[in-house]
Amino acid sequence: MIDQACPLSIILANKEERARRQKELLVRNSGCFLISLSINTPSAIKLSLASLVIYEIACQAIDSILTQNGFECLAVQEQKALSGAEKLFTCRGDARAFKILTCKLEVKHPLGRLMDIDVFDPTGVLLSRTDFGFEKRRCLLCENEAFVCAREQKHSYATLNASIKKLVWQYANEHYIALACELAMQTEVQLTPKPGLVDSNNSGAHSDMNIHTFYASIQAIKPFISSFLAAEPLDFATLRTIGIACEKAMLKATHGINTHKGMIFCLALFCGAIQQLQKRGEKLTCKHMQEQIKLLAKNLVKKDLIDQNQHSAGARYFAHSGHAGIRQYAQEGFMIVFAGSVPFFQKQSQYHEQSHALKLTMLWLMANLIDTTLYARGGDAALLYVQQKAKDLLTCKYKNEKELNAKLYEFDADLIAKNLSAGGSADLLALTWLASKLLEDETKN
């Protein structure tokens, strides 16, 4: 849903529907006032990473204004759709006093200019900032009144959105990255069908987890992103210590099921590299990321698998074949992602919808990755089988996503019957999405 244009008819219908719900809530909750939060989003793209970050920060700010000033919030209604993120708060207290506090927030908060906080008093009157001595909103880019610039379409959507992204990136950097990580994991698990893997249709070749286990796991991991980004001293040992704590939180949330162990490993290195590049003021490009991760994971295979006796699937496969699985990919700076799956995904995205492009990228990863989770379940034969089958599916021509899905459902049934699951490919698929969202954004600016 992220970064997709919303048709005008849906935007307009959604506004009417919101107005209807506002009225309904006011009638149903006599004496209460209503807060209607939405985000300023020039252009038809209403749901973007930047707008979601602003939305989350606005929600937190409104919550703290409510609690700190003794307002009682009776109910909230939230909606995240193609038409944007929005929330309605039904509250008790002095609506006018609350409006003044939100006007101050809109003026003072670095991202306040991008928040639209409408307040309706109990009689349904929309309170206006000018009634309280606040001046009309200024344009994001120049000193004119916002209304005038918007009506004249004085600035291009590209310029406006670039400046919004820059603001959010600057003032809410960690939040932005953490949200991108969360959405990357969500996007991966929700992609359906995924052969042998947990998706919204089934649990694949897993009897101990389902999509909700993944959702719980994602929520447990999210708070650790800022720790990875702040790792000090920034080296592999520090990242691993945080990673182990993160893993514990994951296992607690999933009642002992390993949903994202490999993913946490990838995220730790990814965030570590981001921290390093940002400190140096260097651009977040695929090339730079690859170099930084290479440095962070230097000698990892030797340290982990040769000098120490590990008992993971990766270690067993290394003893058997000499390929060190995910550690080797990390040591190469995730070249397979930054110089492989990311360009592949970006190219596919030019021709296909995001979900279609992601499914092809998943097949690309399954075909190219030495996935030790497959080896763990079925030895060399399993690994080769999945690689070959993915290669075959990738060379087929599909008229549309539906045809591709039909093949993927067959492959899914096949892998479930064989009890095989390409967990490594799933992790790197999430990493691919994350890299193409975060890094692409940077290069565009």
Partner 1 sequence: MQQNIIPSHAGTLESSDLFVRILPKKEGGVSIELESSVCEIYADAIKKTVLECANAFGADGMSIIVQDKGALDYVIKARVQTALLRAFGMNELDWSVL
* Dihedrals phi, psi of 33, to nearest 5 degrees: -105, 170
Mention every residue, 6+ apart, whose C-beta is less than 8 A from residue 402. Answer: none
> How far apart are CB 73 and partner 1 at their closest, in Å?
22
Size of the site for partner 1 (CB under 8 A): 16
Q: Does 1 participate in binding partner 1 (rule CB under 8 A)?
A: no
The residue among 116 and 401 lying less far from partner 1, judged by its C-beta, is 116
> How far apart are CB 64 and partner 1 at their closest, in Å?
25
Q: Does 143 participate in binding partner 1 (rule CB under 8 A)?
A: no
> How far apart are CB 125 and partner 1 at their closest, in Å?
10
The residue among 8 and 237 lying less far from partner 1, judged by its C-beta, is 8
Among 3, 118, 332, 442, binds partner 1 (CB under 8 A): 118
Q: Label the pairing between strands 33-39 and 115-120.
A: antiparallel
Among 1, 5, 7, 15, binds partner 1 (CB under 8 A): 15
Among 108, 151, 311, 397, binds partner 1 (CB under 8 A): 151
Q: Does 201 participate in binding partner 1 (rule CB under 8 A)?
A: no
Among 5, 12, 75, 384, binds partner 1 (CB under 8 A): 12
The residue among 15 and 248 lying less far from partner 1, judged by its C-beta, is 15
* Dihedrals phi, psi of 92, to nearest 5 degrees: -115, 140
- Residues 376-415, mask of contacts with partner 1 (x by CB under 8 A): ----------------------------------------
Q: How many CB atoms lie within 10 A of CB 403?
A: 12
Q: Does 116 participate in binding partner 1 (rule CB under 8 A)?
A: yes
> How far apart are CB 138 and partner 1 at their closest, in Å?
13
- Residues 152-181, mask of contacts with partner 1 (x by CB under 8 A): -x----------------------------
| Distance between CA atoms of residues 354 and 102, nearest Å | 37
**Using CB under 8 A as the criterion, which residues of the chain lie in contact with partner 1 when the complex forms?**
8-9, 12, 15-16, 18-19, 38, 116, 118, 126, 147-148, 150-151, 153
